[in-house]
Structure 1
Amino acid sequence: MLARIFRPAKTAMQSGKANTTDWVLEFEPRDARRPDPLMGWTQTGDTASSQVRLSFETKEEAVRYADHHGIAFQLIDSKPAKRVIKAYADNFAFSRRIPWTH
Structure 2
Amino acid sequence: MPARIYQRSKNAMQSGKAGTDTWMLEFAPSEARKADPLMGWAGSGDTQTQVKLSFPTLDAAKAYADKNGIECTVFNTPPKTLKIQAYADNFR
TM-score, length of structure 2 as denominator length: 0.93
SS at match of 2:12: coil
> Partner of 1:87 in structure 2?
86
> Partner of 2:70 in structure 1?
71
Percent identity between matched residues is: 54
Larger Rg: 1
| Mapped pair 1:2 → 2:2 | yes
> Partner of 1:100 in structure 2?
none
Give the deviation of 1:70 after TM superposition: 0.3
Give the deviation of 1:19 after TM superposition: 1.7
Superposed structure 1 runs of 4+ greater than 4 Å apart: none
Give unmatched runs, 5+ long, in structure 1: 97-102
Give unmatched runs, 5+ long, in structure 2: none
Q: Could you tell me which amino acid in structure 2 is paired with residue 10 of structure 1? A: K
> Partner of 1:20 in structure 2?
20
Give the deviation of 1:14 after TM superposition: 2.5
Q: Which has the higher contact order (CA 8 A, sep 6+)?
A: 2
Q: Could you tell me which amino acid in structure 2 is paired with residue 71 of structure 1? A: I
Q: What RMSD, in angstroms, separates the aligned Cα atoms of the two structures?
A: 1.1
TM-score, length of structure 1 as denominator length: 0.84
Cα deviations by residue, 1:28-77 (Å, 9 ceiling, x for unpaired): 0001111111111111100111x100000000000000000000000111
